[in-house]
Amino acid sequence: MARVSNRQRGNTVSDFDDLAARLRLLADEADGTVSKVTETAQAAVNRVDETVSRFRGMLQTIQENVAWIAGLPAVLGGGFGFLKTSADDAATSDWQMEQLTDRVAELEAGNDLLGGGTKNFSLNLGDAPGGSMTVAIAFVAVGLVISGAIWLQQKRRRR
């Protein structure tokens, strides 16, 4: 092992102290620079936010003006446009009603209102799908219900 004298040791310690002091200065300088860069970046972000807000407001104003200008012809000629549209709708509705009336008349003529080729409805009960027997059974059932209600009511009064 090599022998180191006290004088050499002293120089080494003072060199380390010098180096540590320089490193502290560099760290303080870097910390100050980082703070400045952060402040500058934040200021730039704030300016961009303000510019974007102004641009959005201006864009909104332009959109409103374009909508107003585009709607102006409709407002000025609105009555005539409405009449034309109404006339077209009325003509279409009239044609559809004619078609519907004709089709219903065809189905009524064949007693086939529900389609399918069988008689579904007829004012003459003898021509009804179940004949007049269905109607007779329905009347008997209604008569039984009414008779039962009257019988129960009289039974209650006797008590």
Burial grade of 119 (CB within 10 A; 0-12, 13-18, 19 or more): middle
- Domain tally, the chain: 3
pLDDT digits (tens, 9 = 90+) for 24-81: 888 888 888 888 888 888 888 899 899 998 988 888 888 887 777 776 666 665 555 5
pLDDT for the residue numbered 122:
56
Mean pLDDT of 115-136: 60
Tokens of 15: 């060199």
Does 62 share its domain with 17?
A: yes
Indicate if 83 and 102 belong to the same structural domain: yes
Q: Quick check: 12 pLDDT over 60?
A: yes
Using pLDDT thresholds of 50, 70 and 90, give the confidence band for residue 104: confident
Domain annotation covers residue 50: yes
Same domain, 136 and 98: no
51: left (phi over 0), alpha (psi -120 to 50) or beta: alpha
What integer pLDDT is reported at residue 113 of this predicted model?
59
Quick one: pLDDT band at residue 152, thresholds 50, 70, 90?
very high
> Is residue 1 domain-resident?
no
* 61 and 25 fall within a common domain: yes
Q: Looking at the structure, do residues 19 and 44 belong to the same domain, yes or no?
A: yes
pLDDT for 117: 61
Asked whether residue 4 is assigned to any structural domain, the reply reads: no
Question: Domain limits at 96?
Answer: 77-109
For range 99-124, the mean pLDDT: 67
The band of 153, judged by pLDDT with boundaries at 50, 70 and 90, is very high
The per-residue pLDDT for 78 is: 57
Task: Classify residue 63 as exposed, middle or buried by CB count within 10 Å of its CB (0-12, 13-18, 19+).
Answer: exposed
- Do 16 and 50 belong to one domain? yes
122 shares its domain with 157: yes
Q: Does residue 89 contact residue 82 with C-beta atoms inside 8 Å?
A: no
Same domain, 18 and 62: yes
In the prediction, which pLDDT does 131 show?
Answer: 56
Q: Are residues 93 and 129 in the same domain?
A: no
41 & 89 share domain: no
Claim to verify: residue 69 and residue 81 sit in the same structural domain: no
With respect to residue 148, please indicate whether it lies within any of the assigned structural domains. Answer: yes
Does 14 share its domain with 27? yes
pLDDT of 111 over the 70 cut: no
